[in-house]
Each structure stands twice: as C-alpha cells, then as structure tokens.
Amino acid sequence: MLLDLMSLAWAALAGHRLRTALSVVGVAVGIAAVVALTALGEGARQYVIQEFTAIGSNLLSVLPGKTETTGAMPGMGGVPHDLTLQDLLALRRNIHAAQYIVPVSMGTETVSHGERRRQIAVIGSTTEFLQARELKMAQGQFLPASDVERGTPVVVLGHVTARELFPGQQPLGQVVRVGEWRMRVIGVLAEIGTQLGIKMDEVVIVPVGTGMKMFNRSSLFRILVKVRSPKDLDGTCAQVITILTERHDEEDVTCITQKAVISTFSSILQTLTLVLVAIGAISLTVAGIGVMNVMLVTVAERTEEIGLLRALGATRGNILGVFLVEALMLAGLGGMVGLLVGLGGVHLLTWWYPAVPAAAPAWAIGAALALALIVGGMFGVMPARRAAKLDPIMALQRR
C-alpha cells in the first residue's frame, strides 16, 4: 500500500513541476543550512580537541587565583598570592608522579636584530618546556638546564621569528635585542603552527628568570605539570592544591586538567553548534510552512478527487495517507537535495579555505533526512487531516 501511495503522490507531484520544485528548494535550503552550520560547529569542536590533544593529554595547568564565586566583597580579602618560582620548586620536591614541572611567564616585547624588529610574545620557561609542550628544535639547542632563578641572556626563536629577523642568515650565535635586553640566539624551534591559540612559530623563549626580570613580575603566568599517565591527573591536581594551600595559607590557585579544558571547550562548542543548527532550523520552519501551504492548495484543488476516492471505497485513513505521503515525499526530496547541497558546500568551503575547520558528522546526515521528514510530517498532517475529513458528497460536488 505504501508503494501505491508513493506512486500516486509521485504522479501528483510530477503534475505540478514548478510548484513541487519550489517547495523542494525551500526545504533543501533549510536542510543545507542545518548541515553546513552543523559541519562548521562540529569542525570547530574537533579542531579545538585536536589542538589540545596535540600538546598531550597528560598535562595540567596551575594558575594563580581561584575560579569560584565567593561571598566576599571585592577587595575584602581573597587576593590571590603570586605563583612564584619557590612554589615551583616546592612542587618539584614533592610531586613524584610528575614527569615535568615547568614554569611559564608571559609578556610581549619588541624583538629586533639590526633594522628588523617586531612585537612578539615572549615566553619565559625552563629546559623541560620543550618536552612538556612536545616541541622540536630545527637547529641549535633549547634553553640550558640551570638554576630557575638565574637569568641567563639566551633566547630560542620561533620558526617564523628566526626567518623574519634573519632572512637568509644563520641566526645561531647572533645577538638579538628583546626590549632592553641583548640576548644570544641558541636555538630555533621547528615549525609547529598554532598551539592553544598561541602562534608558536612567532614567539621567543627565554629562561624564566630572565623573563620575570624582563617584565618585572614576581608571579608566574602558570605552572605546567606533565604526569606520566592520565590516571595520575586528578590525584596530582589534588596534591598541587594541597601543597600550594599549605604554602599560601589558603586555597588560592586553580588546577585545570587538559581533560577538563577539552570537556569545557567541547561543551561550549556543542552549544554553539546547537545554536547554529537552531538558526538553520528557522529557515527549515519557513520551508515547512511552504510545504503546508502547497499541500493546502493541493487539497483544495483535488477536492473532487478526494470525493471520488471516497466513493470508490477509500477510508478517511487512506485519504490521510495519500496526502501525508505526498507531503513527506516533498520534504524528503528537499531533504536529499539539501543534504547534497550542504555536504557539497562544506566540501567546497574546505577546498577553498583549508584553514576553516568544517566537517559534517555522520549523524548529521541521518539527522538531516529525519529532520526533513519530521518537517514534512508536521506541516503535512494538517492539510492531510483536512482532506480526510471532507464529506464525500460535498467533495464530489466541490462544495
């Protein structure tokens, strides 16, 4: 029976090609929008997860300050202590699950060599930063292992920084000026791209002691702890908090695991994806109203036919089926066209702009078709019910 209803519906749709095509286009636009926006949102989520996992999933960050809401008035206490190099050393002494415990200071400074200069992010750290952030050297060596407080005047250049300050020259052994500091280039990082939003190819890395003096800071930007196994993450975080709470006489640091960061970003981007899909769904709703309009016109035009079918023995249910199947086919066709257009659009977008992270997840394909059918069903049921309720005699006489 379903095949027969589909065959009848197809004949009816084929009888009004332009009207059918316009309705199909309406649904297709809505579905294509949903598919494309889902692909963009999901692509962004995958990109962020990939970025975080690229620097290792065994990493946790310790930040000064506590990320919680307290009842205290601003300025009435709760000012966090600095995260100092002494804190770093205390953690190194006491946390044995850690593979690396690395200080990070951050600032921006003008870096110049001769006439060439540019404003650059300056990272202060120690020799373990290379392993903790899974970086590689293109030439020379990374920061030397030495006393963390000692500020030796050496610098490691990012890939792009080296190329721009020393075009066609060997940077190793050369002297650059970082702010007021004259520093000797001891190494160049291999090309790595962007990590956590920082263009690692466009930084300079200096010993942490040097960095803190350069920016006249007593507090570290953060401490990175790399544990040996992901199962050590939570325990190590708790240990870090305990040690630093003891040192600061209050809990005023935040420990974030990579897992938590990924989960937070993932949930934010999932929400963003849903918002984008909801925006796409607005056009789908408009398309659904279009389908309903077409079906109402169809029912009005085919009133006599409905009366005839009833006279020939069709039940109200049969009539409902005839028009519901027609609406579903209309929306289903739109869904398939929209899916192809949406996927094609995403493909073209990523081909033209490879930097745009867009990937339609597999579930979106099924969901798009299901969504089209739901729209067809929702907006088709009212006209179909109207058809089914028609009195056969009135319909035959078109009254």
Partner 1 sequence: MIELQHIAKSFEVGGQPIFALRDTSESIQAGEYVAIVGPSGSGKSTLLNIIGCLLRPSEGAYLFNGEDVSQLEDRALSHVRQHQIGFIFQSFHLVPRLTALENVALPMVFAGIASSERQLRAKDVLESVGLSDRAHHRPNQLSVGQRQRVVIARAIIMQPAVLLADEPTGNLDTHSGQHIMELLESLNAKGLTLLVVTHDPNVARRANRVIVLADGQIVKHVKGEEMSAGSMPFV
Binding site for partner 1 (CB under 8 A): 1, 3-4, 8, 11-12, 14-15, 304-305, 307-318, 392-393, 396
Quick one: 198 or 396, whose CB is closer to partner 1? 396
Quick one: 110 or 315, whose CB is closer to partner 1? 315
Q: How far is the CB of 341 from partner 1 (least distance, A)?
A: 29
Quick one: 101 or 327, whose CB is closer to partner 1? 327
Q: Please say whether the dihedral angle defined by the alpha carbons of residues 234, 235, 237 and 238, taken in this order, is positive or negative.
A: positive
Quick one: 80 or 392, whose CB is closer to partner 1? 392
Q: How far is the CB of 19 from partner 1 (least distance, A)?
A: 13
Q: How far is the CB of 390 from partner 1 (least distance, A)?
A: 12
Q: Please say whether the dihedral angle defined by the alpha carbons of residues 113, 118, 119 and 121, taken in this order, is positive or negative.
A: negative
Quick one: 245 or 397, whose CB is closer to partner 1? 397
Instruction: Say if CB 158 and CB 201 are below 8 A apart.
Output: yes
Q: How far is the CB of 273 from partner 1 (least distance, A)?
A: 43
**Rounded CA separation 213/234 (Å):** 33
Tokens of residue 225, six digits? 């702890």
Instruction: Say if CB 392 and CB 310 are below 8 A apart.
Output: yes
Quick one: 3 or 79, whose CB is closer to partner 1? 3
Quick one: 33 or 328, whose CB is closer to partner 1? 328
Q: How far is the CB of 331 from partner 1 (least distance, A)?
A: 21
Quick one: 312 or 355, whose CB is closer to partner 1? 312
Q: How far is the CB of 312 from partner 1 (least distance, A)?
A: 4
- Per residue in 186-204, is it b (16+ CB within 10 Å) or e — as a string? bbbbeebeebeeebbbbbb
Q: How far is the CB of 13 from partner 1 (least distance, A)?
A: 10
Q: How far is the CB of 22 from partner 1 (least distance, A)?
A: 19
